[in-house]
Chains A and B, each alone.
Chain A
Amino acid sequence: MAQAETGMHPVIRGETAAKKKSRIVQFARLLMKSPTGMIGFLIILGFVFFGVAGAWVSPYDPTHTEFSKKLLPPMTDGHILGTDQLGRDMLSRIIHGTQISLIIGVTTVFFAGTIGTVIGIITGYFRGWIDTVLMRVVDVQLSFPFILLVLIINAVIGAGLRNIIISLVIAGWVVYARIVRSEVLALREKEFILSCEATGVPRWEIILKHILPNLLTPIIILSSLQVATFIIAEASISFLGFGVQPPQPAWGNMLSEGKNYIFSSWWLITFPGLAIVFVSLGVNFFGDWLRDVLDPQLKGK
């Protein structure tokens, strides 16, 4: 930021491989220094591991029902976290839920981020009527509760993993559009952009080579926070009976099923919830650390 204010090009380009490597080492060193950042990183690492390798590491088939073994409390019969009302192993179901949350987190952030960034750049850089129209749309969307919007969209287009991702993307891109637009509005007044325009550099080149690289930091910071938002939103929607449908084990619908047994079997609502808390805590920790490192001016805010 400080560099940008002096009108210099803040992104150092033409980095050599060696420099890049040393930057990774530098980041690793910084991460070692921050306990919360490290915890966040480890949680994310675990999250990704279980998300990818879940099928191989889970002790049981998450959809295998066994009525004779229903509602077993944790640590009985080889079921570390107990079983649910159909006798399915809780641990295996939570591990499989990890996969769904991981897919949700990655895809929604990717698509919402891409759409929002493209629209943010177009509106911020070209202004004009397209800006007016699209920003009205953004205003309308932002003037409506996010979760309610996701819920309605999902109810209309139908439940299921693919549709909940679509719903989250439709409701979620506006946040990116708004932030990217305001960044672009600030960037295009900077000397290094103005001088490019003055020397006749084509617009697409200005956007790709000069604007986009400078948007990376705010987008990364925003995304790290949005991952948690999207994961929690999906869990909420699935909890309400839309989103991911049983028997597919998502954390949200596990809680929805478990709430009927709240008076007798505490483990049904406890563990899936804890999984959500852990993941979003880890993502938030890591996101905060990332923000402090990438944008030191915001530190402590």
Chain B
Amino acid sequence: MSHVVSSAAKTGADRKIALLDATAGVLAKHMPAIAAAVGLVVLWQFVVWAFKIPTFMAPSPVDVAYAFQQNAGILWTNMLPTILEAFLGFVFGNLVAILLAIWFVHSSTAEKAFYPIAVFIKAIPIIALAPILVLIFGNGLAPKIIIAGLICFFPTLVNMVQGLKSASPAMLDLMRVLSASNTEILWKVRLPSSMPFLFAALKIAATSSVMGAIVAEWIGSSFGLGALIIEATYNFRSPLLYATVVIAAVLAVVLFFIVSVVEARMIRWKPAGSH
């Protein structure tokens, strides 16, 4: 009995050591990046201090850290709506793009009719579109979600159309010999083979959806990280402005990371013929 317990305790300890080893490994792997980042922050602090740059013009890292602590409540309450807008924009923009891509692949008429319109919408500067949407949908969440969605929409549409068409002719011949229906070809061949293309687009969309939400909040909004950026700028609260920008960047990185993790879990295969 005691033997069992001790061996269990030993495996527990082993696991802790393994975890430490893994953490150390990750740290060692990213050491150059970590060192470079820390170095740049130190350099920034030094430049601000050495040239006596006024805080409103460019705050030092210490000032920014202090602003985080001072404005934790404001940052938090303004971050939540931005997360919601970016997330919903991400979901709807990509969903519409995926469905449209499936339609395009099955109907060349639909592709010919709507692809140019999609390109035209993409060509409108998003900043120019924001006031129009605010006029139509008011000051709430809706125009921000739409703009975040529009920013995600185009890269996903283009990639998804390409991905759905990436199945090899031989694979389609195989499905024809098996008398497979179009629906079966879509589910068994086209959608799975489009996944690498889709995730390439989703990674772009993850970061740009945050940007879309923030840009939308610049136009007459009273909440969100975008509104906070405008307010902090006009009031010369530069440390708060920097803190907001850091949060926005972290938000985008986290979304990117989540998409990457899902991708790694979903796509374990490699294209045929590669080793």
Q: Do A and B truly interact?
A: no
Chain B: residues with CB nearer than 8 A to chain A?
A: none
